[in-house]
Amino acid sequence: MGRIISFSSGKGGSGKTFCSVNSATELASRGYKVLIFDIDINCSNVFILLHVKPQTKLQEYFEGVIPLKECIIPSEHGVDVISAGVNIQRFIQFENDYNLARLADDLKELSSDYDFIILDYAAGINQAMMRFYAMSDDIILIANPEITALTDIYRLMKMIHVNNKTDKMYLIVNKVKNIDWAINLFREIKKVVAKFELKIELKLLGPILFDEVRVMSSIQKRTPLVKLYPKTPIKGGFSLSMTRYLNEIGEMKGDKDIASKTFSDFF
């Protein structure tokens, strides 16, 4: 069975989808079979970043016409996609307990065909997401250096924890000017977690440096940045993050010294 990873954030604008797409592409470039399920029905845009044509097959799945496997769209970047596409209003009518439970079961079954399934949620917190957090093997939180990030991430962590979904989470800090910003935000989050006595183990995967020009170019060209700009600091951040994640779950191949490597080692 493959691992199911939830990518989530406390607020919009953190770059969650950008991080999930580039993390998935980084894993695929290392030979892993990866699927992204874009479950953000408010603003589904994974299909844009991976240059796939949106389809209506997810509606057909909820209507009982086709199995979930037939909703998979291959991308030219080595990552498969399931997306709500642009038919948001039709999708919302299926968002009920029965269909969400069926979807969770079918995703679990589908994980046997992949090394990793990445779930890309809408920003924020709601009870429907708890079902998917519960079925996830790992939760990766995306934060940024804005002053509200600390509060938003804490709220999300608390909601996940009090619903008994996990006691271990991972953190990627996006849009930072330098590595120190990421480390300082990570330390502040850990202080808040300790202050309120949440029994959560939080692991920092890595910083994603701010590079607006290359990010916008990647979006406009509908090509993951890790492929478009393979020799850049922002690509190094994704390489470091996924390498540390693989090492944490015991999937790292070959490099036994990875835990001691620094950001600069990934260029």
pLDDT at 266: 45
Residue 139 contacts residue 9 (beta carbons within 8 Å): no
Helix (H, G, I), strand (E, B) or coil at 196: coil
| Surface-to-core class of residue 86, CB atoms within 10 Å of its CB (0-12 exposed, 13-18 middle, 19+ buried) | middle
Q: Which letter does DSSP use for residue 43 in this model? A: S
Tell me which residue range forms the domain holding 200.
3-266
Q: CA angle at residue 128 from 112 to 55, to 5 degrees?
A: 60
Which residue shows structure tokens 């080692």? 265
Is 114 or 39 the better-scoring residue by pLDDT?
114
Amino acid at 178: N
The pLDDT value given to residue 202: 92
Which of 8-22, 79-93, 225-239 shows the lowest mean pLDDT across its residues? Answer: 79-93
Q: How far apart are CA 185 and CA 78, in angstroms?
A: 33
Give the model's pLDDT for residue 267: 41
User: If DSSP codes are grouped into helix, strand and coil, which group holds residue 34?
Assistant: strand
Look up the CATH number of the domain holding residue 213.
Answer: 3.40.50.300
Residue 6, token pair as written in the block: 């939830």
Helix (H, G, I), strand (E, B) or coil at 110: helix
Residue 189 amino acid letter? I
* Of residues 176, 76, 163, the one with CA closest to residue 126: 163
**Do 159 and 134 form a contact (C-beta atoms < 8 A)?**
no
Mean pLDDT of 177-205: 88
Range from 96-105, 109-118, 167-176, 183-192 that averages highest in pLDDT: 109-118
The answer to whether the beta carbons of residues 36 and 47 sit under 8 Å apart is no
CA–CA distance, 242 with 222 (Å, rounded to integer): 21
Confidence check: pLDDT of 129 > 50 = yes
Q: Specify the pairing of strand 73-74 against strand 79-83.
A: antiparallel
The per-residue pLDDT for 245 is 96
Note the pLDDT of residue 157: 87
The per-residue pLDDT for 159 is: 85
Indicate if the pLDDT at residue 89 is higher than 80: no
In the chain, % of residues over pLDDT 70: 85
Report how many domains make up the chain: 1
- Token code pair at residue 165: 């979904």
Q: Which of 2-16, 131-145, 232-246 has the highest mean pLDDT?
A: 232-246
Higher local confidence (pLDDT), 56 or 225:
225
Which amino acid belongs to residue 207? P
Amino acid 50: pLDDT: 92
